[in-house]
Amino acid sequence: MIQHSQIETAAALLRAGKLVAFPTETVYGLGANALDDAAVARIYAAKQRPQFNPLITHVSDAATAFLHGKFNPDAERLMAAFWPGALTIILPRRDDCQLSLLVGAGLDCIALRAPDHPLAQALLAASGLPLAAPSANRSGRVSPTLARHVEEELGDKLAMILDGGACSVGIESTVLDLSGNAPVILRPGSVTKAMIEGVIGAVRLSGDGAIKSPGMLESHYAPNAIVRLNAENAEAGETLLAFGSAEGDLNLSKNGDLTEAAANLFAMLRVLDKTATRIAVSPIPMEGLGIAINDRLQRAAVR
Ligand code: TXA
Ligand code: MG
């Protein structure tokens, strides 16, 4: 159990410009004060992340988001429908935006999200800060869904890790760009295209390979092992990451439940990556959350 005093300690560390990892419902975030250039720069250094890759700023609610990003009625409707939750919205910076320019990596738009996790919300409230937080892994590695993963990846670079147990969603938030003429999903996630379209009408799923969002870098989520997708069976030398009724070394969801599969995805890839050199993955249906799962798997399979 996390104590109130640990939240206060974490908030004080953030105010002092230090890095604190914290749980969200999607994956663990590597947090820093988004108003402080030096603190944000420490995130890039810790992750060894290419400077051009912008970061998500976490806020407690829509009202706080619009202190930083320009008001947009579609954004307001989506925030009302899905916040707090796994939807990141990209908006143009307000002229009086106080966020570090580094969070947008020099772009004139910013990515905002209100996380749906009690510890993340407690930390936002206690610090009174917007928190820049990419996933708490080294650049190019799968995202952490347990505090232990964060410790393994970045332990020596952090002032503190708040342990909130396993992340319930397990894959990163949907990233929706509302800064241009038409809305575009830059990264699929658990808030699906259909869910978004139910609120604001037609949106496009970016698949044109244009890297505006470098999280779209093709091999962003790479384990060390070679990954083969849509495998009906494991071939010699392969370890099978199964789904549904397939018999595998590990199974994302024996019941074929996509929500369970998303929550297990990164943790199981990490476990298999410790011993396997070749990972075969059962077919995952391209529907609902399966679109986001297949997106992450395709990146994991790129060498
Ligand atoms: O679920 C999540 O979103 C997690 C948790 C910690 O909130 N965070 C996360 O952050 O996945 P990160 O930095 O690993 O991924 C952020 C994505 C990247 O694909 C990044 O390129 C994109 O959002 N992004 C951020 N700001 C952007 C901007 N101004 N324009 C375009 N893309 C942006
Ligand atoms: Mg990431």
DSSP-derived pairing of the beta strands 250-251 and 226-228? unpaired
Is 19 within 8 Å of 49 (Cβ atoms)?
no
Q: State both tokens at 86.
A: 């796994």
Residue 84 Cα to ligand 2 middle (Å): 19
The DSSP code sequence of 97-131 is --S-GGGGTT-SEEEEE----HHHHHHHHHH-S-E
User: How far is ligand 2, taken at its centre, from the CA of residue 143, in Å?
Assistant: 6
Position 31 scores a pLDDT of: 98
Q: What is the token pair recorded at 36? A: 């402080």
| pLDDT computed for residue 52 by the predictor | 61
Residues in the 5 Å CB sphere of ion ligand 2: 135
**Span 60-73, pLDDT tens digits:** 999 999 999 999 99
Collapsed DSSP state (helix, strand, coil) of residue 188:
coil
CA angle 230, 247, 272 (to 5 degrees): 70
pLDDT tens-place values along the chain, 303 residues long: 677 899 999 999 999 999 999 999 999 999 999 999 889 989 988 988 766 678 999 999 999 999 999 999 999 999 999 999 999 999 999 999 999 988 988 789 999 999 999 999 999 999 999 999 999 998 888 899 999 999 999 999 999 999 999 999 999 999 999 999 999 999 999 999 999 999 999 999 986 444 445 455 555 567 889 999 999 999 999 999 999 999 999 999 999 999 899 999 988 998 999 999 999 999 999 998 899 999 889 888 887
What pLDDT is recorded for position 50? 65
User: Helix (H, G, I), strand (E, B), or coil: what is residue 22?
Assistant: strand
The closest ligand to the CA of 222 turns out to be 2
Q: How far is the CA of 264 from the centre of ligand 1 (A)?
A: 21
* Nearest partner of 208 among 227, 184, 228, judged by Cα: 184
Closest CA to 132 of 70, 215, 54, 63: 54
Reduced to 3 states (helix: H, G, I; strand: E, B; else coil), residue 172 is coil
Residue bearing the CA closest to ligand 1, atom 6: 29
Within the chain, how many helices (H) and strands (E) appear?
A: 9, 14
> Which numbered ligand comes closest to the C-alpha of 220?
2
- Specify burial of residue 32 (Cβ count, 10 A radius: 0-12, 13-18, 19+): buried
For residue 197, the CA-to-ligand 1 centroid distance in Å is 21
| Cβ neighbours of 1 (radius 10 Å) | 4
Q: Is 242 helix (H, G, I), strand (E, B) or coil?
A: strand
> Do residues 250 and 260 touch, judged by C-beta distance below 8 A?
no
Q: Which of 43, 137, 213 to mutate to test the pocket of ligand 1 (most atoms within 8 A of CB)?
A: 213
Q: Which ligand is nearest to the CA of 57?
A: 1
For ligand 1, which residues put their CB under 6 angstroms from it? Answer: 24, 26-27, 29, 53-56, 88, 90, 104, 107, 109-111, 113, 115, 133-135, 172-173, 175, 186-187, 212-215
Which ligand does the CA of 24 lie closest to?
Answer: 1
User: Residue 140: what pLDDT?
Assistant: 82
Confidence (pLDDT) at 220? 59
pLDDT digits (tens, 9 = 90+) for 223-265: 889 999 999 999 999 999 999 999 999 999 999 999 899 999 9
Residue with CA closest to ligand 1 atom 10: 134
The structure's pTM equals 0.89
